[in-house]
Chains A and B, each alone.
Chain A
């Protein structure tokens, strides 16, 4: 019954990102602004970058229980009208690319013409992800976990990564290389929260365990801030001042019973991209060897190992060889990874900072520019469900 995606049923080449913007990025709880104001600031910055009047926005898209909702944004900004308002289900950063896909689908389907995709977070205002407080009783999935001290995300994912390392012989050094690459790139990026705070192998090795096999530096930060982008139909892309980044493909979802709780998904040792990676490459008409630079959501380094393998960059058994620092850094590593510093060292903006960085790579304006930059990938939220991904390209790739 599955219909092959025809030329008509694709996002390839149909929309372009013409503006990106973000607020200053802060440690969690350190934002001087409330969350909604952060969202507004990022949206204004993205519109300014595009050279567009914010009143011309006619759609908003977000994910992960975003609280800055579209009707309030449209009223606050005085947009002339609101047409698309899409929210991707699922927590964590699994929707950071899906939100872009939903916005793109709105545009391609004729439901909207100028959609802002964004994420805003002020954890001082609304509480942290990494601490469990104020819960007396619990039911559903977490009831099978929390009474046993499996409370926060590191504890929820450590066992999955441990199993993957066991099945495929992945070493701690492979996880370490991912952390070192993110921190290395953050040292060139003045936006990064960890700018001026370098990491080396000895410091990683000496860092405390959070939940084995995760050291402190295997875990993402928690931050305040907001990030946004402006998406328009491809035929309008050249009306704006920046080099457009075209959407070459996007995919969302998960495999068979990936959501079976608690920890009962049949393919447990997985980041969840088996089907989603295949869908992405099919839409884009590309394969892993065509991808020049990757931004991969690091909730935890181990999820990056799995996600990159599932996107075909290496076989799991080759992870220890492939995931060496020199292979992962711009400008000329084999696969420059997380070139802004990512969730580990730029800002944990729930992965949306990764989408913005992918745009910068295609534009050629990253602070750690990859030598080859026509095709950039973003991978959202490994190990949750649903996950999502996207490919961006320059005009030459259309």
Chain B
């Protein structure tokens, strides 16, 4: 599931994610642009890893592989943000950010927004599925991964 720039969850103008100068996270950001969620998995010991690093934290093999995983998981924690900490968010109102745990990838976690009513009740442990959101920025197009409850489809 993906959606385009005409319906982004948060207003335009927030910092645009780019890979580090050394390229560590480049496969992740490139993957999101193609509706693919990639995380690291060590080819030597099988350990899952996110965020990326140049080494496997378990067996110390260098350059862990990038592996495509299905974007679904469960809400590990959440917050409803009211205070705008960026000019782009003034006048916007509350929004939801969730920390999602992905059990089928070693329990790695990632942050996204929870789509739907920002006033909704949020339950830790609830199953969520990923939604790719593509930002068609003229110079720096990028994609984000949000989450939604299956019932909100």
Measured CB to CB, the closest approach of chain A to B124, in angstroms, equals 5
Q: Quick check: A147 and B85 within 8 Å, CB to CB? A: no
Measured CB to CB, the closest approach of chain A to B112, in angstroms, equals 6
Q: Is A152 an interface residue when CB atoms closer than 8 A count as contact?
A: yes
B83-108 vs A, CB cutoff 8 Å, 1 = contact: the mask equals 10111010000110111000000001
Q: Is A130 an interface residue when CB atoms closer than 8 A count as contact?
A: yes
CA distance A257 to B51 in the complex (A): 12
* Chain-B contact segment, one of A19-27, A131-139, A343-351: A131-139
Q: Using CB atoms, name the residue of chain B closest to A138.
A: B15
Q: Quick check: B85 and A131 within 8 Å, CB to CB? A: yes
- On chain A, the residues within 8 Å of B66 by CB distance are none
Q: Quick check: B87 and A138 within 8 Å, CB to CB? A: no
Q: Is A190 an interface residue when CB atoms closer than 8 A count as contact?
A: no
- On chain B, the residues within 8 Å of A158 by CB distance are 79, 81
A interface bracket (residues with beta carbon within 8 Å of B)? 35 or more
A153-171 CB contacts (< 8 Å) to partner B: 154-155, 158-160, 162-163, 166
Q: Quick check: B79 and A132 within 8 Å, CB to CB? A: no
* Chain-B contact segment, one of A32-40, A203-211, A238-246, A280-288: A203-211
CA distance A151 to B111 in the complex (A): 12
Q: Quick check: A166 and B77 within 8 Å, CB to CB? A: yes
Measured CB to CB, the closest approach of chain A to B137, in angstroms, equals 10
Contacts known (A155-B85, A155-B97, A211-B81); A136 close to B108, Cβ less than 8 A: no
- On chain A, the residues within 8 Å of B20 by CB distance are 139-140
Q: Which of B89, B98, B109 has the most CB of A within 10 A?
A: B109
Q: Is B17 an interface residue when CB atoms closer than 8 A count as contact?
A: yes
Q: Which of A131, A133, A262 has the most CB of B within 10 A?
A: A262
B interface bracket (residues with beta carbon within 8 Å of A)? 35 or more
Contacts known (A133-B86, A262-B110, A262-B111); A146 close to B14, Cβ less than 8 A: yes
Q: Is A315 an interface residue when CB atoms closer than 8 A count as contact?
A: no
Q: Is B113 an interface residue when CB atoms closer than 8 A count as contact?
A: yes
CA distance A312 to B82 in the complex (A): 34
Q: Quick check: B50 and A137 within 8 Å, CB to CB? A: no
CA distance A149 to B18 in the complex (A): 16
Chain A residues at the B interface, C-beta cutoff of 8 Å: 130-133, 135-152, 154-155, 158-160, 162-163, 166, 208-213, 257, 260-264, 268
Closest 8 CB pairs of A and B: A152-B85, A143-B17, A158-B79, A163-B77, A138-B15, A159-B77, A209-B82, A151-B85
Q: List 20 A-B contacts (CB under 8 A).
A: A133-B87, A135-B15, A139-B19, A139-B25, A140-B20, A141-B51, A142-B15, A146-B17, A148-B97, A149-B95, A159-B78, A162-B79, A163-B77, A166-B124, A209-B82, A209-B94, A211-B81, A260-B57, A263-B109, A264-B51
Chain B residues at the A interface, C-beta cutoff of 8 Å: 10, 14-21, 25, 29, 50-51, 57, 76-83, 85-87, 89, 94-95, 97-99, 108-113, 124, 140, 142, 144, 146
Extra pairs beyond A147-B142, A208-B82, A262-B111 (20, CB < 8 Å): A130-B85, A135-B15, A138-B18, A139-B19, A141-B51, A147-B144, A148-B146, A150-B111, A154-B83, A155-B79, A159-B77, A159-B78, A162-B124, A209-B80, A212-B80, A261-B51, A262-B110, A264-B51, A264-B109, A268-B109
